[in-house]
Amino acid sequence: MDTNSRKDSRLPDQLRKVRIQPGIAPNAPGSVLVSFGNTSVICGVSYEKRVPHWMLQQGVGGGWMSAEYSMLPYSTQQRKQRDVIKGKQDGRSVEIQRLIGRALRAVCDLSKLPGYTLWIDCDVLQADGGTRTASITGAYVAAQIAVRKMLAAGLIRENPFSEAVAAVSVGLVDGRVLLDLDYEEDSSASVDSNVVMTESGSFVEFSCSGEEACFERARIDEMADMATLGIAELLRIQAEAIAAG
């Protein structure tokens, strides 16, 4: 292990301080405030007794799960204009919310949500790198809390989630592989990667791209190993938050 610390005194394979606070939005059946260092996201999960029209048209049974992601105007140093003012959704936001939905559906048996749609809303309060990974990690906890309330109310018979899922960033900065990049590290990374993994160790997503740089296969393996360590810690934190929620 590289013992050289980073500007915030973290080791290369160390997460930022991660906090998951349940019950942040009382009107949502499941909600958390998740923080990775200075990145903070509210994840709220609601449910309704209807499914998308395409499921009815195609005769698809079960339920559905869909995510929405947005960055509040004051979440960045320079004010970010709301999508509604621009008249269209930002392409990056669309990409991230699709990733959040895919990540949670990967560990969910939708047949156990008959006729229901789970809506996952992730709103970034403060962005300092890793908003998508924080959103996925927090959204799973909020969804589990919501599902447990549905079970208690007799709305569904079984928990549709088969296992946990979490996400973390990892990258190559100044020749070193670093875990859970903040904004400054992410901006200077020559290779940037976002990893979504299940509790059983399967990958849902492993995106890896060079920023005007090439990288070797050995670096991919190194980043995958480091991400796996980070995900294990996130899964532990998630379990504690679900128990508290």
Q: For 19-50, how does the pLDDT look when each residue is reduced to its tens digit (9 = 90+)? A: 999 999 999 999 999 999 999 999 999 999 99
Q: What are the backbone angles phi and psi of residue 28, rounded to the nearest 5°? A: -95, 135
Class level of CATH domain 18-244: alpha beta
- Report, as an integer, the average pLDDT of 129-144: 98
According to DSSP, residue 175 is labeled T
The reported pLDDT for the residue numbered 88 is: 66
Q: Give CA separation, 55 vs 48, 51, 128, 195, in Å.
A: 15, 7, 38, 30
Q: Identify the weakest region by mean pLDDT among 58-72, 80-94, 129-143, 212-226.
A: 80-94
Percent of the chain with pLDDT strictly greater than 70: 96
Q: Where are the domains of the chain?
A: 18-244
Counted residue by residue, the chain has a size of 245
| Separation CA 88–CA 93 (nearest Å) | 11
Q: Yes or no: say if 43 and 34 are a contact pair by the CB < 8 Å rule.
A: yes
Which residues are registered as beta bridge partners of 122? 43, 69
Query: Number of H helices and number of E strands within the chain?
Result: 6, 9
Q: Scanning the structure block, which residue is given the tokens 């679900």?
A: 242
Helix (H) or strand (E) holding 165: strand 165-173
The reported pLDDT for the residue numbered 2 is: 45
Q: Give CA separation, 166 vs 42, 78, 150, in Å.
A: 16, 29, 22
The reported pLDDT for the residue numbered 112 is: 98
| Separation CA 80–CA 242 (nearest Å) | 32
Q: For 78-106, how does the pLDDT look when each residue is reduced to its tens digit (9 = 90+)? A: 887 777 667 667 788 899 999 999 999 99
- Report, as an integer, the average pLDDT of 97-124: 97
The reported pLDDT for the residue numbered 27 is: 96
The reported pLDDT for the residue numbered 170 is: 97
| Separation CA 73–CA 57 (nearest Å) | 38
